[in-house]
A = this chain, B = another copy of it.
C-alpha cells in the first residue's frame, strides 16, 4: 500500500436492502425486527457489513440470502447514505439496494428466524436511522424503472395472468389502468407466452396463465428493442 493511502481514514461500510414483494393485498415491504444493537427491538431494513473478500454486490446477495434463503433475486444499487450522523451508534456508510422477491418462493421458517415481516407499502412502521428515506427512494426508483424494464415479472410467480400483472403495475404506480389498453400494450411486445392452463383462483371463468420469455427479451434488446408499459 502506498503511503498516500495509509494516511487516509477508513470507514465501516454496510449495505441495506429494501425488499419488495407482491401478493393479493398489494405491494409489500419486508422488514426485520432488530434482535441486536443498536436500536434493538425496532423495525429496520435488512442489512450487513461489507467483508474483505467480497464486492458490494456479493455482500448484498449474501445478506439477502441470509434473510430469505433465496439466491439470484433482482437486485439494484440505489445510492450511498453517508451523512456523518446517520447512524446513532457510530460512523457507518451504507449502500442502499432494492430487491424484488417472488413471495410464492418465500421460506417462512427462514423469515421467522430474523423476525421478518411483510408490510403493506402504505402501512410501513417507523424505521431506524434513515431507512425510511431509503424506502422512499427505492419506491420512486421502482416506479420509474418498472415502466421501462421488465422487472415486474420478478415480483410475480413464474406463471401469472394478465389481470394479475395489471394489478401489480397498479400497485406499484398507485394508479388505475385501463384493462384493454394494458393488455394491448403488454401483449403487443410479444414477450409473454400464453399457456394452455388457466388460473381459476381469481374468478369463476378463470384467466389464462402466461410466462415471460426472458430469452426472447434478451434477444430483442440486442436488436435495439425497448420495453415499455
Contact = CB atoms under 8 A, between A and B. Distances in A.
Give the oligomeric copy count.
Answer: 2
Contacts of A36: 4
A80 B52 contact: no
A89 B51 contact: no
A2 B38 contact: yes
A205 B1 CA distance: 60
Contacts of A11: 10-13, 50
Interface stretch (A90-98, A163-171, A180-188, A189-197): A90-98
A49 interface: yes
13 contacts: A1-B90, A3-B37, A4-B36, A8-B49, A9-B51, A10-B11, A10-B12, A11-B50, A50-B82, A50-B93, A55-B82, A56-B93, A57-B82
A188 B11 CA distance: 49
Nearest to A5: B90
Nearest to A57: B82
Contacts of A55: 82-84
Given A89-B2, A93-B13, A80 B77 contact: yes
Interface in A62-90: 77, 79-80, 82-84, 89-90
Contact of A1 (B10, B89, B93): B89
Contacts of A51: 9
B13 A84 contact: no
Given A8-B12, A52-B84, A55-B83, 15 more contacts: A1-B89, A2-B37, A4-B37, A9-B49, A9-B51, A10-B11, A11-B13, A11-B50, A13-B13, A50-B82, A54-B84, A55-B84, A56-B80, A77-B80, A80-B80
B92 A5 contact: yes
Q: Top 10 closest A-B pairs, CB basis?
A: A10-B10, A1-B90, A56-B82, A55-B82, A8-B49, A2-B37, A55-B83, A11-B13, A5-B90, A2-B89
A55 B53 CA distance: 25
